[in-house]
Structure 1
């Protein structure tokens, strides 16, 4: 992705950086194309489960996705390292 100030990143920028069209993203997520357009125009935001799927499809962290949708993510901690115990391959 181009080096852009975090404040100027939009959902459309993220989608285009992932080389996806609205119809492609719509199909991959199983939602209508109008929903993608609504999200990009800021007319609505996705439910949490769809936000997770959207972040996955775009290859971005949820925090980046929330920020590009105009949500305040200050004081939200970054993801924690995996809490699962490390396996020993001995």
Structure 2
């Protein structure tokens, strides 16, 4: 999958799961500051990403994730 494919899927997950406007989601969007996600939302996002990748998302993989772009990069590593 390309970065754009992953970003597109992630934008769908974020907009569907957290009622966000897809147009407000960009690679540089900060998950907590810009998109107003909280720690409970982060857990829900991890669950959604597990379903998407078919792999368990570890806390270690996500400890430095802050932006949508960080999530995309982490997913690219997981899928490669």
Q: Structure 2 length normalisation: TM-score? A: 0.44
Which is helix-richer, 1 or 2?
2
**Over alpha carbons, which structure has the higher Rg?**
1
